[in-house]
Structure 1
Amino acid sequence: MKLLSPRLHGYIDYAIVLLLVAAPLALRFEPAPAAVCYSTALAHFIVSLLSDHPLGAARKIPFAVHGALELSFGVGLLASPWMFRFSAEGPTRTFFVATGILLVLVVVTTRYVAGVLSRPEPYDRYDR
């Protein structure tokens, strides 16, 4: 069952970006996990701004493509403790696994075709 509307998905996107930016400072990450957090936050922010959903600014990326990119971010966050060799750090590994699972759950529970089937034109600023 798809629970999240495109608008709610947009709010969650920007909240996750803020979480990824704040986590290295709040949890005192080492340089490698901090770099992964900041680069993922930047990439996710750019994709969110360029996506065709109610909170997107440029609306150049179709919302379904946004979902595929977001799924890759989630899988990347899940795998990053082992890819970048910081899996021995308990709290850091837990943060990355939990955030990766959160992103995958957001992708799985979002209605990506809600706007496409009801309206052929892209969203405007007021979600009309």
Structure 2
Amino acid sequence: MKALTRRGLTPRMHGVVDYAACAAMLVLPGRLGLSPTARLASQAFAVSYLGVAALTDYPYSLKRALPFPWHGRLELMTVPVLALTPTLLSLGERRDQRYFQGLTLMVLGAYLATDWRADPNT
């Protein structure tokens, strides 16, 4: 199995990244000592990302209903939401703000690294 195509992450590898990110969004806020509001926001993002991942047309999904390129569009649309979360939720603690900055960069990086035109079975 080749993890990278000439254009980036394959759908299979993107799926692995998605599920790992969901797990991180559920576990890391508690380990990092984030505020209860930041923890709840992270959990909400994790559940929403998990729902999209479970329904995306790529390996490891539960039901291949959402076309892979649409998954990418949804993912890209969450980037500004993640970036604005500290402001929208009035998260004043620096640790909370940095967490969401990192999360924003991680999601944007995964989006930019992925070949959204690849065969969803790869």
- Normalising to structure 1: TM-score of the pair? 0.84
The Cα shift of 1:90 comes to 1.1
Contact 1:6 1:110 in 2 (8 A): yes
Q: Which position in structure 2 is the counterpart of 1:74?
A: 79
Q: Which has the higher contact order (CA 8 A, sep 6+)?
A: 2
Q: Which position in structure 2 is the counterpart of 1:99?
A: 103
Identity %: 26
Match of 2:18 among 1, 9, 13: 13
Q: Classify the secondary structure of the residue corresponding to 2:119.
A: helix
- Cα distance per residue 1:62-112 (max 9 Å; x no partner): 0011111111223221110111110x3111111110111110111112111
Q: Which position in structure 1 is the counterpart of 2:61?
A: 56
Letter in 1 for 2:50: F
Q: Which position in structure 2 is the counterpart of 1:119?
A: none
User: CA–CA distance in 1 between the matches of 2:7 and 2:112?
Assistant: 7
Q: Which position in structure 1 is the counterpart of 2:112?
A: 108
Contact 2:82 2:100 in 1 (8 A): yes
Q: Which position in structure 2 is the counterpart of 1:22?
A: 27
The structure number with the bigger radius of gyration is 1
Q: Report runs of 4+ in structure 1 exceeding 6 Å deviation.
A: none
User: CA–CA distance in 2 between the matches of 1:85 and 1:22?
Assistant: 22
- Cα distance per residue 1:29-79 (max 9 Å; x no partner): 222111110100000001000000112120000001111111122322111
Q: For structure 2, which runs of at least 5 residues remain unmatched after alignment? A: 1-5
Q: For structure 1, which runs of at least 5 residues remain unmatched after alignment? A: 117-122
Match of 2:41 among 36, 39, 58: 36
Q: Tell me the number of residue pairs that the alignment of Structure 1 and Structure 2 aligns.
A: 117
